[in-house]
Structure 1
C-alpha cells in the first residue's frame, strides 16, 4: 500500500526454478512494486513471499542473497571493475584468493577480461551493463532480478545485450525475474510473460501464446498491434465460436493488401475480404505499415518489403483479406 492506494492487489504468482519470467506492463501497472517486493525493498501488507521453500517476506533485502541489476547499473564509481565484482564476494566472506579467481572467470565470460582495472566512468553503457550483470551473477544467487536492465541503452546495443542476457541465463540457469515495459524485449527474452494492469495480473503465458492468443483487448493492444473488427460490420467467421462478451481481432501481419484488380488474387471460402482506402503508408526498413480506412474503422496492415512488390500510397483503393482461422476473440 502507498497511503490508501494498493499498488499490487491479489497477486498470486509462481516462478519455476531456472525460468526466465518477465513482468510486463505500462507505468503504474504494479510491475516495479512487484519486483521491489521480491527484492525486499518493500514489504507486503498481507500474504507471503516464498523463495526456495522459505518465507522471506520479513527478511531484509541485504539478507536475501539475490542478484539485482538496475536500469542505472548502480556501480560503485570509486571502485574499479574488479573492485565492483569483488565487493559482493567480500561481503559473503569469500577468501581473497578465491575472489580473484572468480572475478577473472566472470570478466572473461562477459568479454571484459582486459577491463578489470578501469573505473566505471571509463566504460561505455554496454560495458557498464556487462559489469552490472557480472556483479549480480558472481555470487551464484538463487534468483536474479532485473529492473528495466536495458532501458538506458540505444536500440542496436539493446538488441545486442538481449542476446547476451539470453545466453547468460541459459549458461548459468539462474531463476530470473525481469521487469520491463518494452514488449519486444519481453518477447525476446522470456520463457513466460506476466502482463499486469492496475496492480493485477491480466494474463500469464508463453510469449508465443500471449501474442497469438491474447485473452483480453488490453493484452492484444499492449503486446503488439491489433485490429478489432467490431466496427467494420462483418459477419465474422473463425475457428472458435464468438460470444456476446468477445471482440474479433486480427494481427496486422496476418492481413494481405491488394490492388482491387490484382490478377490471380482470387477469393477463397477460408478468407474474409474487405475494401478500403489507404490513409497512410509508413516505410520502416524491412516492413511497410499501411493504415487503411474501412467504413468507420481503420485497419493496420504490416507486410515485409520484397522486390517487385506493389506499393500503395495515400488515397489508393485497396482490397484486404485474411484467413478466417487467423481471427482471435478477446474479451473487452
Structure 2
C-alpha cells in the first residue's frame, strides 16, 4: 500500500525452480513493487511470500540470501572488481582460498579476468553490468532478482547482454525473476512472462503464447503491435464465430501488402482482403513499416525488406490480405 492506493492487489504467482520469469508492464502496473516484495524491501500488508516452501514475508532483505541486480548496478565505487566480488563471500564467512577460487572462476565466465584490478569507473556500461551479474551469482543464491537490468545500456549493448544473461541462466540454472518494461527483452529472455496492469496480473504465459494468443486487448497492444479490426467500413467474414464481448485482432507481420489491382491468389477462399490507402511508410533497416488507412482505421503492416520488393508510398492504393486463421479474438 502507498497511502490509500494498493500498488499490488490479488497477486497469486508461482515461480518454478530454475525458470526465468519476467514481470512486464507499463509504469504504475505494480511490477517493481512485486519485485521489492520478493527482495524484502517492501512488506506485504496481506498474504505471504514463500521460497522453497518457507515463509519469508517477515524476513529482512539482508537475511534472504538472494542475488539482486539493480538498473544502476550498485557497485562499490571505492573497490576494485575483484573486491566487489569478494565482498558478498566475506559477509557469508567463506574462507580466503575458496573466495579466491570462486572469484577467479566467475571472472573467467563473464570474460573480465583482465579487468579484475580496475575500479568500476574504469569500466564500460556493459562491463559494469557483467560485474553486477557476477556479484549476484557468486554466492549461488536460491533466487536471482533483476530490476530493469539493461535499462541503462544502449541498444547494441542491450542485445549483447541479453545473450549473456540467457547464457548465464542456462549455465547456473538459478531461478530468476526479472522486471522490465522492454518487450523485446522480455520475449528474448523469458521462459514465462507475467503481464501486469493496475496492480493485477493480466495474463501469464510463454512468450510465444502471449504474443500469438493474447487474452485481452491490453495484452495484445502492450506486447507488440496489434491491429484491432473495427471501423474498417466493410464487413469481414471471420473464420469462426466471434465470441461476444471480444475484438478481432491481427498482428502487423501477418498482413501482406499488395498493389490495389493485383490479381487475387489461388487460395483466396482462405484469405480476407480489404483495400486502403498508404498513409505513411517508415524504413527501419531490416523492416518497412506501413500505416494504411482502411475506412476509419489505420492498420499497421510490417514486412521484411527483400531484394526486388515493391515499395509503396503515401497515397498509393493497396490491398491488404491475411489468412483467416491468423485472426485472434481478444477480450475488451
Taking structure 1 as the reference length, the TM-score comes to 0.98
- How big is the shift at 1:232? 1.4
Unaligned ranges ≥5, structure 1: none
Q: What does residue 203 of structure 2 align with?
A: 203
Q: What does residue 59 of structure 2 align with?
A: 59
Query: 1: CA distance between counterparts of 2:223 and 2:310?
Result: 29
User: What's the secondary structure of 2:10's corresponding residue?
Assistant: coil
- How big is the shift at 1:233? 4.5
Q: Where do 1:178-257 residues align within 5 Å?
A: 178-257=178-257
The answer to whether the aligner puts 1:271 opposite 2:271 as a matched pair is yes
Give the conservation status (yes or no) of the 8 Å contact 2:68–2:144: yes
- How big is the shift at 1:231? 1.5
Q: Where do 1:46-125 residues align within 5 Å?
A: 46-125=46-125
1:92-123 superposed Cα distances (whole Å, 9 cap, x missing partner): 00001110110000000000011111000000
Q: What does residue 296 of structure 2 align with?
A: 296
Give the conservation status (yes or no) of the 8 Å contact 1:280–1:292: yes
Gap change, CA 1:170 and 1:237, over 3 Å in 2: farther
Gap change, CA 1:234 and 1:205, over 3 Å in 2: farther
Query: 2: CA distance between counterparts of 1:71 and 1:241?
Result: 46
1:256-307 superposed Cα distances (whole Å, 9 cap, x missing partner): 0000223574561110000000000000000000000001011000000001
1:144-198 superposed Cα distances (whole Å, 9 cap, x missing partner): 0000000000000000000000000000000000000000000000000000000
Give the conservation status (yes or no) of the 8 Å contact 1:20–1:190: yes
- How big is the shift at 1:32? 0.1
Query: 1: CA distance between counterparts of 2:313 and 2:235?
Result: 29
User: What's the secondary structure of 2:113's corresponding residue?
Assistant: coil
Query: 2: CA distance between counterparts of 1:264 and 1:239?
Result: 19
Query: 1: CA distance between counterparts of 2:161 and 2:226?
Result: 28
Unaligned ranges ≥5, structure 2: none
Gap change, CA 1:87 and 1:240, over 3 Å in 2: farther
1:202-256 superposed Cα distances (whole Å, 9 cap, x missing partner): 0000000000000000000000000000211544444543122000000000000
Q: How many residues align?
A: 332
User: What's the secondary structure of 1:98's corresponding residue?
Assistant: helix
Q: What does residue 165 of structure 1 align with?
A: 165
Taking structure 2 as the reference length, the TM-score comes to 0.98
